Structure 1
Amino acid sequence: MKLSNGAVVTPVTGEEAEDLLKNFPGYVDGLVRAGPSRCLLPTAYNRFAEEYINFKFRSSDVVIVTYAKCGTTWMQEILWTMCHNPDLDNPDADLDLSIRSPFLEFDCMVDVLTKKNGHNSTLVKALQKRDPAASPDAGVFLGLTKVAEDPRIIKTHLPFSILPLNLLDTCKVVYVARNPKDALSSYLHHHRLIKIHDYQGTDDQFVDYFINGQLLHGGYADHLAEAWPLRGHKNLAFLFYEDLKRDPDAQLKNLDAFLGTGLTDQQLDNVKNRTGFSNMKARMGACVAVDGDAVEGMGVTALFNAKAAQEGGFYRKGKAGSWKEDISEKNLAKIDRYIAEQITAKMPDLKFSYE
């Protein structure tokens, strides 16, 4: 399958497909690879690919582009609060984050769960309140992205090569990178507790999948390689998760200047406190109202499996350097070799902090 921007989509087949299905039983409809970086995605991506490539971004949009588990949700809350709630008085502040800051391609990721359980009724209700003519079958998350309040704060894990070619010339983009060791550690936890993946393999196997680009959204090094050369573009802010943890005040001021939000010191303090790890984790566990309906855990707990509570839930540690507790010496040697060969050798000026 060839897309309108020239990108090619190919199915994952044979022994590789069998192996992935064995260890990731959530992928029952199969997987495809898309674009020059061979980004791994569920087969349902084929239905939405042209929508993503030709999505009509606006000059007022702020798009968060990340590899998974690199601080995406944190950045969503930060940017939405900066743009929509700096005085902490917005009545929509406790709405499901999927409504306030939609995940562009999430329809293709939850397609299997949707077929089994139906659409999330709360999100459908929120979508149709904003667009009564919207059809859930055309994509609930895609629809929510289209009708989000301006300035839209939009999340995606897709690499630049399968996003609109004019993205950076149209709107502002915030790319957040995290050191690969912590990203891997967090992604392993994520795969074990989220039904989309339902990972059944070992830690050792997961490290190999990470190194070989066999996780959803493909290889981390490939994702970085598409973003790092663009860092000089006036509409791209390239941030590091570790810098945001180390000095949030400085990073928030930089984001304020980049976005042109013109926040006061008090408003920046409001943003920092509202989006602190403990506050976000507490809100995740709270029961909140979405368009009049009570929804536990901001609407995401339906994605969790039985292991989630045992392993700390969606927000687990929220710190830099946790890889030291989670990665064995044997696997650390593999990861160090991967970083040296796939990241440092190809992007020598890209430096990570490992705390």
Structure 2
Amino acid sequence: MSRPPIKIVSGMPILGPFAENWANVQVFQAREDDIMINTYPKSGTTWMSEILDLILNSGDTRKTTRGAIYERVPFLEFAVPNVAKGTEILNSMETQRVIKSHLPIELVPQSFWEKNCKVIYVARNPKDVLVSYYHFYQMAIVHPDPGTFEEFFQGFMDGTIAFGSWSQHVKGWWKIRQQKNVLYIFYEDMLEDPKREIKKVSKFVEKDLPDDVLEKIHQHTTFKAMKENKMSNYSTIPSSVMDHTISPFMRKGVCGDWKNHLTVAQNEIFDAYLEREMSDTDLTFRFQD
């Protein structure tokens, strides 16, 4: 697969092949029992997907082997040539659907709000998102060439990379979290106390699980366990789509890796960007353990 250029749909930069199926995303029909996991890319989407799948299956790890995570939690916007589109997969599912999406609040299909669907939103500090997204852009061939880290750094701040502005994304969801059926969770909180956050998700989706099951879910969803699990580490994706020799899909899963990548000058520029972008919100992030 070549590296197709970014396209603009409804004012948002998106991966070229995804744009071809945009009309079907816009008219997607949600169901009342759908649960959406929404994030800006590289903010803990797969981690939360595995956690939620286990919660809904009462911690039965055998049920998580029924398919890779991208099959169990289909990606709404996904569309690449010669592969089933996210909308097609979801429309064919007869059981309760857990749906992955990176859409900003203003582009979520209206049916999700009409059906009052539950949404779990995961936000991560932008310095680590930037670094993780750069590595992902390199290994996921459906993305354009990210160029140098300096170029990607600028594109991130300008909001010209796939799924657009990080700040608008996290702020948009933060703003409506109490008006809609939204649970807003922080990646750094998940790292700090995974079991506490798993319990929070369990309560949100109305699954009352005993402590031993919560602990089992915690152990199954540690970074080490998921990195070694072919059902969650994306190793079953063809190398023509994701090249794990460039960078593994599950790379580090920590808070503070940005310190190994941003120069002092870049960090100062980024801090100034954040000061500007976050001046109109009470949303804050932690940047180290």
TM-score, structure 1 normalization: 0.75
Task: Judge which range, 221-230 or 205-214, deviates more.
Answer: 221-230
**Distance in 2 of aligned mates of 1:285 and 1:176:** 21
Matches within 5 A, 1:124-163: 139-148=84-93, 150-163=95-108
Who is 2:235 aligned against?
297
SS at match of 1:65: strand
- Structure number, greater radius of gyration: 1
In the TM superposition, what whole-angstrom CA distance separates every residue of 1:325-355 from its partner, at most 9, and x where no partner exists? 121112111211111111x2121x1010111
In the TM superposition, what whole-angstrom CA distance separates every residue of 1:42-90 from its partner, at most 9, and x where no partner exists? 3444542232122111111110111000001111111111112513232
Matches within 5 A, 1:91-240: 92-107=64-79, 110=80, 114=81, 119-120=82-83, 139-148=84-93, 150-170=95-115, 171-197=117-143, 199=145, 201-233=147-179, 235-240=181-186
Matches within 5 A, 1:57-68: 57-68=30-41
Pick closer, same or farther for the CA change 1:194–1:74 going to 2, 3 Å.
same
SS at match of 2:185: strand
**Structure 1: which 5+ runs fail to align?**
1-24, 121-138, 288-295
1:264 equivalent to 2:210? Answer yes
1:226 Cα deviation after fit: 1.8
1:351 equivalent to 2:287? Answer no
1:72 equivalent to 2:39? Answer no
Pick closer, same or farther for the CA change 1:148–1:101 going to 2, 3 Å.
farther
Pick closer, same or farther for the CA change 1:300–1:267 going to 2, 3 Å.
farther
Q: Give the counterpart of 2:245 among 290, 295, 309.
A: 309
Pick closer, same or farther for the CA change 1:300–1:183 going to 2, 3 Å.
farther
**Distance in 2 of aligned mates of 1:300 and 1:175:** 28
Higher relative contact order (CA 8 A, sep 6+): 2
**Distance in 1 of aligned mates of 2:222 and 2:94:** 23
SS at match of 2:161: coil
1:158 alignment partner AA = L
Who is 1:55 aligned against?
28
1:102 Cα deviation after fit: 0.3
SS at match of 1:93: helix
Pick closer, same or farther for the CA change 1:300–1:346 going to 2, 3 Å.
farther
2:70 alignment partner AA = S
Pick closer, same or farther for the CA change 1:42–1:102 going to 2, 3 Å.
same
Pick closer, same or farther for the CA change 1:50–1:140 going to 2, 3 Å.
closer
**Distance in 2 of aligned mates of 1:300 and 1:243:** 33
SS at match of 2:160: coil
Who is 1:26 aligned against?
3
Task: Judge which range, 212-221 or 142-151, deviates more.
Answer: 142-151
**Distance in 2 of aligned mates of 1:265 and 1:148:** 31
**Distance in 1 of aligned mates of 2:164 and 2:150:** 18
TM-score, structure 2 normalization: 0.91
Matches within 5 A, 1:5-16: none
